[in-house]
Amino acid sequence: MTTPSFHDPRLTEQRNPRTERIDVASSLEIVDLINAEDASVAAVVRRCREAIARAIELVVDAFRNEGRLIYVGAGTSGRLGVLDASECPPTFGSPPEMVVGVIAGGYQALVKPAEGAEDDVNAGMEAMDTARVGLQDIVIGIAASGTTPYVRAALSRAQTIGAVTGLISCSTPPKLLADSCDVVILPEVGPEVLTGSTRMKAGTATKLVLNTITTGAMIRLGKVYGNLMVDLMATSEKLRDRGERIAMECCAVDRARARAAIEQAGGSVKLAIVMVRLGVGKDEARRALDAAGGFVRHAVGDPPPVTEVIRKEDRGNPLGSSGP
């Protein structure tokens, strides 16, 4: 009698020997086990640094050619793509259509499980047509297991159209899929704490990669000044306060002057900084910024250096944090 094989070759589906008794662990032991697994994720992502940098370059090329970055995924992977896309406009002042997240099952799948949608290859292809993917776009598939039918079909359709494609996976994908993509990022974090629960280490690794791709691309486009988010959209009191503080720091002015400059600049923190630093009006500041390719540093010079922040616990200690 032949013993049936239950071994799945996908790394994300294998059992983790370090957590095989987690069901009898105490709450603190569970925390320690999960934390120990999480601690390995950043190092794994770092090993993908060259592939991530390649992805950034491809995304920048797409943006400069008036193309878009389109993420496509199912389940957790899809939700992470939509999350990253939705965070770009308030952070970088980018139009909502610049980075787009496509999830199997549609946007209702963000809040209601639609796990069966990941098997619908026709829907994956149709999603690319609905998104009007074109030659100038880059489509990055996110599939923790590397085998999600919806994602594979979407990438295949995007490639047929002629778009640049990429794949993020935490398990070795089929060779044909990997070979057909322009960039492949494989943070292979190993078996999950709970077998197959890719919302854990795989999800964390994916979030780190997505953060780096979009942040890196926006930096390369001149949407930051030093490490300040000067292209942010002031859509809330918190963001308005942040924008004013950025202008105050960069221009060495008080809040009233910073607020007035931002208002004169039509709400643009970046433009307000150029106006105040160069002592010019809005139109001239816009011309200076355009001539600098959108980079504030090239238009007005270096930002002020970072001043050391004294922690609350160091106040009153004349030696600061280096004291006994």
CATH code for position 214: 3.40.50.10490
| CB neighbourhood size of 255 (10 A) | 12
- Predicted confidence band of residue 7 (pLDDT cuts 50, 70, 90): low
Whether residue 260 is predicted with pLDDT greater than 80 in this model: the reply is yes
What is the model's pLDDT at position 236?
82
Do 238 and 289 share a structural domain?
yes
- Predicted confidence band of residue 312 (pLDDT cuts 50, 70, 90): low
Check 37, 50, 118, 237 and give the catalytic one: 118
What is the model's pLDDT at position 12?
74
What is the model's pLDDT at position 254?
95
- Predicted confidence band of residue 323 (pLDDT cuts 50, 70, 90): very low
Whether residue 322 is predicted with pLDDT greater than 90 in this model: the reply is no
Question: How many domains does one find in the chain?
Answer: 2
Do 237 and 167 share a structural domain?
no
Whether residue 319 is predicted with pLDDT greater than 70 in this model: the reply is no
What is the model's pLDDT at position 182?
98
- 20 classed as catalytic: no
Q: Mean pLDDT across the stretch 200-224?
A: 96
Q: Rounded to whole angstroms, how far apart are CA atoms 207 and 214?
A: 11
Whether residue 320 is predicted with pLDDT greater than 70 in this model: the reply is no
Give the range among 22-26, 39-43, 210-214, 318-322 with minimum mean pLDDT. Answer: 318-322
Whether residue 206 is predicted with pLDDT greater than 80 in this model: the reply is yes
- 87 classed as catalytic: yes
Q: Average pLDDT of the chain? A: 90
Give the domain-ending residue among 174, 195, 220.
220
Classify residue 139 by burial, with Cβ atoms within 10 Å: 0-12, 13-18, 19+: buried
Give the domain-ending residue among 220, 242, 265.
220
Check 87, 126, 188, 249 and give the catalytic one: 87
Q: Rounded to whole angstroms, how far apart are CA atoms 235 and 83?
A: 18
Contact indicator for 293, 222 with CB cutoff of 8 Å: yes
Do 249 and 216 share a structural domain?
no
Q: Which domain holds residue 238?
A: 225-324
Do 212 and 91 share a structural domain?
yes
Do 65 and 50 share a structural domain?
yes
Whether residue 1 is predicted with pLDDT greater than 90 in this model: the reply is no
Do 215 and 190 share a structural domain?
yes
CATH of the domain at 303: 1.10.8.1080
Do 294 and 239 share a structural domain?
yes
The two tokens of residue 63 are 């943006």
What is the model's pLDDT at position 274?
97
> What percentage of the chain exceeds 90 in pLDDT?
75
Q: Does the residue 153 lie in any domain? A: yes
Helix (H) or strand (E) holding 139: strand 138-142
Do 229 and 187 share a structural domain?
no
Do 203 and 66 share a structural domain?
yes
Q: Buried b / exposed e across 64-78, counting CB within 10 Å, b at 16+?
A: eeebbbbbbbbbbbb
Whether residue 293 is predicted with pLDDT greater than 50 in this model: the reply is yes
Q: Rounded to whole angstroms, how far apart are CA atoms 106 and 127?
A: 9
What is the model's pLDDT at position 190?
86
Do 319 and 258 share a structural domain?
yes
Do 273 and 205 share a structural domain?
no
Do 150 and 70 share a structural domain?
yes
Give the domain-ending residue among 220, 240, 264.
220
